[in-house]
Structure 1
Amino acid sequence: MQENLPALQARYGQRYPQWLLAVLMIGSMAMVLASTSINVALPAIMQDFAIGRPLAQWLSTGFLAAMTAGLLLAAWAHARLGARRTAQAGLLLFIFASLLALAAQSAWQLIVLRCIQGLCAGIVQPLAMVLIFRVFAAGGRGMALGVYGLGVMIAPTLGPTIGGYLVDHFGWAAVFWMPLPMCVVAALGGQWLLPSERERNTPFLDIWAFVLLCVALFASLGALAEAQRFAWSAARVWLPSVLGLLGFFGFFVRSRRSLKPLLPLSLWRHGGFRNASWVALTLGMGLYGSTYLIPLYLQTVEGYSAGRAGLLLLPTGILMGGASFLGGWLSDRWSAASLLIAGLLVFALSGAGLGWLEPGASFVVLCFWACVGRVGLGLLLPALSTGSLDILSQEELAQGAGAITFVRQLGGAFGVNLLTFFLEWRHAREGGDAPGEALAFQQSFWLMGAVFALTVLAALGVKATKR
């Protein structure tokens, strides 16, 4: 028997929205935790498998790229299978891939399993935003998004904190089993609380569009990764570049012609949604790029252990969670554009501050500038959700939630890749030694700050019209 939200609400009473919100938050936190906790383990993995940064960054970008592709399957899976079956299948496959990673014998095995994890995360995570918008339709949506953001935004910081301690004591494999308890809790809670209704007349999935997207993403990221080691004229660089461009072109052409596209391009007819997409792209770069760069900088330049690098990020997680909660509360009172501009400028200040520091800065000073950036990110997520989705019709919500999350994850995947490319390029140009590496990290932080400052121009155009 299929159960919809009204039926579940009648069964569990007035507390049902809060219970559902808790399950959605736990599941999303597990996915985000897995995406970011790997960063403090990268030096240990690089040492164990004797690989460099260009290959090691695939453990982060491979996850994000697969998650980006998986996001476009979420709306179809939600309609065809129902929220309950979709979440259960994604969580169980994620758990299986995590257990297999413990037996990996090479870096490429780990990368493949990380891509499987990312695909699962991409399918599962967008369900949360859709269900929050539906179950809190009568009111309190901004506060619910703030509470949800508290979990989603705190996880990228708590991941390195807990993961760093575990890596120091149990090795890099610990970051793969760390999210498993939360996955089990989310799977059990979802069995009772998630709706199981589905639309049996949902059109078949556009497999060709999905294949073209995957080719475009991984070929483009592969070209940037290879360009860190070889000249652009080398076949292993320009060939995947061309393949990636052709893949993106084919994907967009097919999406424009399809009646039920994976990525509904008609959403971008709204000017506010277009501007929100630029902010989402930058947010993804800042969220995942800073979580990638900061632990790496602390361990390679400042000489921190994985545990101490993670410990520095612990206060930032608390502040980011508080800022996200505050952002959700303010989103019911202030315009989305105002909150987005504030968040972007605060993060830009953090990037400038980290770029200004010289090697040997104190723990407190490093922590302070990292905290400033997390406050900015905390303000951005609830405002981005309301600013991008409030202008859409009820029928467009599911597609809009998936699309804006897709853009944010796309920014994360290419942000980490481009920052790694920029870091390796500047390291080589600055002499390739330890002082040159420190300068390269400083310049990478400055670059992030500049990108966030420029995105304020897009945030000015996010003017939601409530329906």
Structure 2
Amino acid sequence: MGHDLDVLAARFGRHYPRWLLALLIISTMTMVLSSTSINVALPAIMQDFAIGRPLAQWLVTGVLAAMTSGLLLSSWAQARFGPRATLLTSFGLFLVTSLVAPFVTSIWALIAIRIVQGLCAGIAQPLSMVLIFRTYPGEGRGMALGLFGLGAMMAPALGPTLAGFLVDHFGWRAVFWLPAPVCILSLVGGALLLPTLRSLTPPRLDVPGFILLNLALFGILAALAEAQRFGWLHDATLLTGAVGLLGLAAFLWRCTHHSAPLLPLRLWRNASFRHTSWVSMVLGVSLFGVTYLVPLYVQTVEGYSASDAGLLLLPTGLVLGVAVFAGGWLSDKLAARWLLVGGLGLLTLSTAGQALMGTGASFWAICAWASLGRLGIGGIMPGVSTAAVQDLPAEELAPATGTISFMRQLGGALGINLLTFFIEWRHVAEGASAAGDAQAFVQSFWLLTALFALALWPAWLLRSKR
């Protein structure tokens, strides 16, 4: 066939793996970048639509929740349709939604568009990893995976930097046009370079399980959001909360009774995996929650422009890039336990430092404390990847890796939702004033400090295995 992997390799020669790797890095970075680029635009969107933080946070948590679902769809879509059709469809949907988003006049329509974009990103990211494994069967695979991981990890920090400039000069709608040129490039390059690789015996998708998962995810997130807007005893809060909890119970029951569950709960019987899964959730909070909180804090309390708020995160992204490579090097010399404990320790110091600064801190002081946390993430990431599978048999490596990614995304979605809830609660408790807003953000940094400190316990319980 014209798009089999061997045919494409023969057509484009020995540089084909590099061309495909470049396409996958750029495409994935753009999708991941869009998940955080909206952060610096939230104050402008809130003002334009006359909404508060509880509703605006759906533009971030909706994406992360959909990415979480998409991760579980990815392997099925790859086997059923092949990476070529799946990725081209994802790129196409992402492009269409990026072009349509600036013209919507309803905040709920904008949230729906963001959810579609999150689903596309969640499906595309694991597929890119599969293609790298297939095109780099031996020599060069480590470097290829390192470059791909570097792009995926730096994207959340680079997104707000680019978006901040666009918001200040062209308005928040320009943020949605940011990924459009790369999506067009991805469609053209994908049509030329992406292989088919369809499975002759694709697995069946557990449709009821997937529906129950989304009812659980979005129901629980909606209940927390509605509680912020209307109170815990409002009908909307009780209804969405009931849907979420019943969906969660039914999903967990189905996972224990289905022959091929979306989430293999048997993995939690392994102590190393169980401890690492909680650390992975905290990693999601640190990656996405802090990237959400810091720009919102400096714009709301410190009076930064969108450009300055985005620029603040640029050095943290560069530090993260260096830290990821350093963490990978250390993972060959230290047990995963020490990487996790050290990384969580740095995260704890980072958020404690940001809380102790109070208001009026300098640009570089805020940047330095945030960068310290990024150094910690650089150690946690390879530690999580290693610790999750260190005591598992070979046949469990693939489901364990996918499940750990799921837990990281879930931590990001729940973390942002809970942070928003906490800020709104403390804002009202502190007098619903500008000073109350400042105190609420300071207390939210203390909340993160406590969370990161608590995560040291499961990390410490891991066996020191090399």
Does the aligned pair in 2 maintain the 1:61–1:417 contact within 8 Å? yes
Matched, 1:109 2:105: no
Quick check: 1:75–1:402 contact (8 Å CA) kept in 2?
A: no
- Secondary structure of 2:95's aligned partner: helix
Task: Assess if the C-alpha contact under 8 Å between 1:97 and 1:117 holds in 2.
Answer: yes
Which residue of the partner structure matches residue 456 of structure 2?
456
Aligned to 1:239: 239
Structure 2 unaligned runs (5+)? Answer: none
Q: After the TM superposition, which residues 5-84 of structure 1 pair with which residues of structure 2 at under 5 Å, given as runs?
A: 15-84=15-84
Name the CA shift for 1:319/1:7 in 2 (closer, same or farther; >3 Å): same
Amino acid aligned to 2:76: W
Cα distance 1:182–1:340, how it changes in 2: closer, same or farther (>3 A)? farther
Q: Hey, what's the Cα distance between the residues in 1 that align with 2:387 and 2:20? A: 23
Distance 2:407 2:95 in 1: 26
**Could you tell which deviates more after superposition, 55-64 or 390-399?**
390-399
Cα offset, 1:12, TM superposition: 5.5
- Whether the aligned pair in 1 keeps the contact of 2:275 and 2:462 (CA below 8 Å) is yes
> Which deviates the most, 184-193 or 101-110?
184-193
Alpha-carbon distance change, 385 to 429 in structure 1, aligned in 2, over 3 angstroms: same
For the 8 Å contact 1:37–1:159, the answer to whether it is kept is yes
Contact 2:2/2:8 (<8 A) preserved:
no
Pairs within 5 Å for 1:211-290: 211-290=211-290
User: For residue 25 of structure 1, what is the amino acid of its counterpart?
Assistant: I
Are the counterparts in 2 of residues 142 and 331 from structure 1 also a CA contact under 8 Å?
Answer: no
Partner residue, 2:307: 307
Corresponding position of 1:154: 154
Please give the residue correspondences for 1:350-429 in structure 2 after superposition, counting only pairs within 5 Å.
Answer: 350-389=350-389, 395-429=395-429
| Cα distance in structure 2, aligned partners of 1:342 and 1:94 | 38
Deviation at 1:222, TM superposition (A): 0.7
How far did residue 441 of structure 1 move? Answer: 0.4
**Secondary structure class of the residue paired with 2:230:** coil
Provide Cα deviations, 1:48-84, integer angstroms capped at 9, x if missing partner: 1111111101111111111111111111111111222
Identity between Structure 1 and Structure 2 (%): 57
Corresponding position: 1:336 with 2:336: yes
5+ residue gaps, structure 1: none
- SS of the residue 1:82 aligns to: helix
TM-score, scaled relative to structure 2: 0.93
SS in structure 1 of the partner of residue 205 of structure 2: coil
Relative to structure 1, the CA distance from residue 372 to residue 465 in structure 2 (aligned partners, 3 Å threshold; closer, same or farther) is closer
1:181 aligned partner: 181
The equivalent of 2:205 in structure 1 is 205
Query: CA offset at residue 333 of structure 1?
Result: 3.5
Change over 3 Å in CA distance of 1:196–1:333 after alignment to 2: farther
Query: In angstroms, what is the RMSD of aligned CA positions?
Result: 2.3
Q: Could you tell me which residue of structure 1 aligns to residue 168 of structure 2?
A: 168
The CA deviation at 1:125 is 1.1
For 1:267 and 1:132, how far apart are their aligned partners in 2?
A: 26
The whole-number CA distance in structure 1 between the counterparts of 2:138 and 2:276 is 25
**What is the alpha-carbon distance in structure 2 between the residues aligned to residue 460 and residue 59 of structure 1?**
35
- C-alpha contact 2:427 2:440 (8 A) present in aligned 1: yes
CA positional deviation for 1:435: 1.1
- Between the two proteins, the alignment pairs up a number of residues equal to 466
Q: 1:21: Cα distance to partner?
A: 3.4
Between 53-62 and 266-275, the greater mean CA deviation after superposition: 266-275
